[in-house]
A = this chain, B = another copy of it.
Amino acid sequence: MTDILSRRDLQFLLHEWLDVGRLAGRDRFDGQSPQDWDDVLDLAAQIAADRFAPHNRKADANEPTVGEDGRVVLIPEVAEALEVFNETGLIAASMDQEVGGMGLPYTVTAGIFSWLHAANVGTAAYQMLTAGAANLLISQGSPEQIETWVEPMLEGRFYGTMCLSETQAGSSLADIATKAVPQGDGSYRLFGSKMWISAGEHELGENIVHLVLAKVPGAPAGSRGISLFVVPRLLLDEDGGIGERNDVSLAGINHKMGFRGTVNTVLGFGEGEHRPGGEAGAIGYLVGEENKGLAGMFHMMNEARIGVGLGAGAIGYTAYLKAVRYARERPQGRPLADGKDQTTPQVPIIEHADVKRMLLAQKSYVEGALALNLYCAGLVDEQASAPEEAERDRAGLLLEILTPIAKSWPSQWCLEANSLAIQVHGGYGYAREYDVEQHYRDNRLNAIHEGTHGIQAMDLLGRKVTMKGGAAFGALYETVAATVARAGEAGGEAAELGERLERSLARLAEVTGILWADRDPEVALPNATVYLEAAGHVVIAWAWLEQFLAAAGEEGDFYDGKRQAARYFFRFELPRTGPQLDLLASLDDTTRAMEDAWF
């Protein structure tokens, strides 16, 4: 079980650092205690180890296929694991009790889902997507829609999907072409094709609830003309029972580098393969208002993106733990101090400085990523439950500006952690007989879905930094500065780390001002990705200083490890931002000036 995630680290982050117990006294979490939350986390850890981890490699090696009857075939362990998970009710961990949820803090839920992601992201995705779809309906749907669709999802009877992308519209949702034609009875018929739909077709539950973006005829061009629909795979009878097949068809399966346990599909809507009521067209039900679909979707985007960051961090974490174990068990080579004496026994490779470097780097990436994402989850809780409006607003601002970093940073650096885990294993790391190469392949998706790295960069520098007159950036600045001040009061090494972070923060703020001095996106944004990466390292350095402070005065291996990982990050990683911020400050136009014909 220790190879999945560290229960000890989660305890440290949730209790010793984030003080999740503070939430117990609030109305929203009335009747809950920190002990309840720990019990739920223990349960998640147990299920992850017993039901999810054991078939992770098997699901990768036996990816979904389409049988002769046109049905999607998964290995049986997927359904068995999900059944056990569904019985716990944990899918609804953070949802309101009034819709059938457990009403737990999102911080705790993030811990739960991290265990599942780390154990088996391919199987966990079926429930993550269902939870995401349910949350969107809870947020945007009518009471009747919630009752009809969400309740069976939370009971594990229905599964969910998000149908956004189309072949010609990936990152640019404004260009989707799927049509939704009103039928006069309040329902719509949908016609179009959706690409990259995870869990788009399978036999796991009684039904699949597709949430589909489409355009109603005559709607405004672009993203202002997008509406959101519920399109079930199977229609419901008047009494809510499973009825006839809707006109949603499986056009094909995509074959991926990793994340293979999750079936990824091309879906056809309204192709006439099934003809509900004798007519072609997939019957759909509008969620919210016409043309407001994208706004509704964006409402849930922060949590979805934090979910990706959590997943990326979790995959990095499990591979790190496996690399540590391998490095302890694998004898190879001898210490430098022994010189050329090859008659001595080989030592475990964890004794070599370069292996320690690779493990420390992984530790600093994966624990830093988990810390940031749990902090962001805590902001979701603050936004929903803080007693003072000012606190709720501040949490909201921080969440806005941190989300692109919480999504992108783990996707980049916990992938690098996976690569280092392979490297620690040497040739074995490249072999499919070991786990780490799969983690690397699985994790590579996270910089692509839910908005690519480049899209996150535009979101951060183009929207979040400038929003509300810079209020979100200001909230971030103040948060980091407050930590620096606490470090200064602590004195000693903490103060020294704080001074380094303060310089990086000041430079980030200065460069942000330089980039937007002319208020011209063409000047500010060409190197947005470099900005995203520099800001990400500053934020993770902050997360490490916070952990360093939370460990202050504590003794023992665990705390020594936290301190050393913080030192590593400040010495080896934070300095990377220097040249990045210098480049940005120069308003470098190398990429803009490059011409197509020169490649």
Interface residues of A (CB under 8 A from B): 165, 168-172, 174-175, 195-196, 221-224, 254-258, 324, 328, 331-334, 336-337, 340, 342-343, 346, 348, 350-360, 363, 419, 422-423, 426-427, 429-433, 437, 440-441, 444-445, 447-449, 452-454, 457-458, 521-522, 525-530, 557-558, 560-561, 564, 567-568, 571-572, 575-576, 578-579, 582-583, 588, 590-599
Contact = CB atoms under 8 A, between A and B. Distances in A.
* Number of identical monomers bound together in the oligomeric complex: 2
Contacts of A597: 557
A441 B522 CA distance: 36
A591 B196 contact: no
A115 to B, nearest CB: 20
Given A257-B440, A575-B582, A353 B598 contact: no
A473 to B, nearest CB: 20
Contacts of A583: 571-572, 575
Given A332-B172, A452-B423, A432 B257 contact: yes
A356 B170 contact: no
Nearest to A254: B431
Given A357-B527, A363-B599, A437-B444, 10 more contacts: A171-B333, A336-B521, A352-B454, A354-B458, A354-B528, A354-B591, A423-B452, A426-B452, A429-B448, A561-B598
Contacts of A353: 525-527, 591-592
Given A430-B257, A583-B575, A593-B564, A454 B422 contact: no
A526 B256 contact: no
A346 B591 CA distance: 20
A427 B582 contact: no
- Top 3 nearest A-B pairs (CB, nearest first) are A222-B342, A575-B579, A561-B598
A352 B255 CA distance: 28
Nearest to A341: B222
Mostly helix, strand, loop or mixed at chain A's interface?
helix
Contacts of A346: 168, 172, 175
A261 B547 CA distance: 46
Contacts of A358: 454
A446 to B, nearest CB: 10
A444 B419 contact: yes
